[in-house]
Chains A and B, each alone.
Chain A
Amino acid sequence: MTPRFTISLLLLALAALAGAPAKAQLPTAPVIHVSVLAEPQSIAPGQQFWVAVQFHLEKGWHIYWINPGDSGEPPRVQWHLPAGFQAGEFQWPHPERLVTKYSVDYGYADQMLLLAPIRPPAGLAPGARVNLGGTVKWVVCREVCIPGKTEVALSIPVKRSAAPQSSKLFEDARKRIPQPAPAHWRARARQEKDAFVLSLETGQPIAQAEFFPLLPQQVENAAPQAAIALPRGVRLRLKMSEQLLKPIANLKGVIVLPSGKAYLIDAPVTGAGARDSKIKKG
């Protein structure tokens, strides 16, 4: 190969690279790593224990909350458990707002642990190991999205009595799981022309808060949430979704406070009926 020919080939290659839409290219290496972990070292007959599906994400990539916001979808897990084992509901950690110029998604970057309790049957024989498996499906996105699917599994010994059940990884993950709001808190939502004004009274002034609606089509995801500190709480103005056509009785969601703690709130909605100008018979 002549030097000149080599250079022109190089130039061609560079031109091809420059012309390629770099941001849009799909990565060649995996961007997500999925596994399943158990909290205890061993399990015992009839004793509930916790497992977690762990998602590790490469920088810039994210997966989605149960309400994904403007795009995407939450990961799904289908357990394959031995006979008599029962899995409880997944405990979704509170998401973060994933902001792009024109849309906001609700999801997770870096790492996410999806916890679920599992109860083995009371008649389980100690001494053996059991295999817990699952099929995990997800869509992971950066500028582009990649759907994925994998089988995960773990093997754990069965002993007569339960091993201690607390690991730092699980404890840290639990801090992100929304807790029921304390009984003395009061959450209300007043419906205005194009917004819900959500007031949360906790007894303390709160400077800032983020609200994540549990259901889609109620709150405009991409609208900024203006917070006003109240003497005994916080007020958030949430733009109503353009896709909300019927009045709602309750606004349910997760509120994340400056402490990083997240709570489930269920605010009764008062005020005007649904925006009435939207639907005409067509």
Chain B
Amino acid sequence: MKRPKWTLAVIAVLLALPLLGARVGEAAPNFAGADSNGKTHKLSDYRGKVVVLEWHNQGCPYTKKHYESGNMQKLQKEWTAKGVIWLTVISSAPGEQGYVTAAQENEYLKKMNSTPTAVLLDPTGVIGHQYEAKTTPHMYVINPNGLLVYEGAIDDKSTADPADIAGATNWVQAALRQTTAGKPVSTQVTRPYGCSVKYAR
């Protein structure tokens, strides 16, 4: 009976350690978060796979730009079909824009035809603060060794205008192509753009 308690304590310490933010080239901070179906996901569960983290707020015009155009869903579909784990993270606190219950989120996913691997509900902002996620969207790509290989914007057109998607360079697409091919990512860090993450105030 002592063993599980001890293991839990170690896990708690390990989870508490990486509070210094995420840096490209270093190990991505581990986390454990419940998804909109009640299942817990740990980053360490996905060692050996490429993982995308996408900070999300369904009311934010920048998030809308990429969802109402279908841009984000297309990227999700393409890469989850190739075995990439896509975790959408919602760090909006209760009462703030983008905060949703599990049922509301599942309804939204259905309506938007969005198919990430899972949506992590992070209303306390623990995962958001671990990664120092600043905007919605704010994108991260983690390689199969658990190293952060990309952090920043989804693309190079930092506007809320859907018309700008067509001519944009999608940094996440580029990072995923290179990482899944075992190549180093050429653009590793960009300035994220969007609404501020609506953490608890």
Structural contact, B201 and A100, CB atoms closer than 8 A: yes
Taking the nearest CB of chain A, how far is it from the CB of B61, in angstroms?
5
A139 sits at the interface (CB 8 A): yes
Q: Mark out the residues of chain A between 37 and 90 whose CB falls within 8 Å of any chain B CB in the assembled complex.
A: 70-73
Compute how far the CA of A145 lies from the CA of B159 in the bound complex, rounded to whole angstroms: 12
Please give me the residue from chain B that is nearest to A138 by CB atom: B160
Inter-chain contacts of B134 with A (CB < 8 A): 70-71, 102-103
Partner pick for A71 among B23, B143, B196, B199, CB 8 A cutoff: B196
Contact of A243 among B62, B135, B189, B196 (CB under 8 A): B189
Q: Which of A91-139 contact B (CB under 8 A)?
A: 100-103, 105, 137, 139
Chain B contact residues (Cβ within 8 angstroms of A): what range?
A: 35 or more
Known: A137-B161, A242-B23. A105 touches B196 (CB 8 A): yes
Interface of A is mostly: loop
Query: Which B residue's beta carbon lies closest to that of A147?
Result: B160
Say yes or no: is A1 at the interface (Cβ < 8 Å to chain B): no
CB neighbours of B158 from chain A (8 A): 73
Which A residues touch B201, using CB under 8 A?
100-101
Instruction: Check A145/B195 contact, CB under 8 A, given A139-B160, A242-B23.
Output: yes
Q: Does B83 contact A (CB under 8 A)?
A: no
User: Is A146 interfacial (CB-CB < 8 Å)?
Assistant: yes
Check if A280 sits within 8 Å of B26, measured CB to CB: yes
Contact residue among A22, A147, A242, A282 (Cβ-Cβ distance under 8 Å from B21): A242
Chain A interface residues (CB < 8 Å from chain B)? 21-24, 26, 70-73, 100-103, 105, 137, 139, 141, 143-147, 216-217, 242-243, 245, 278-282
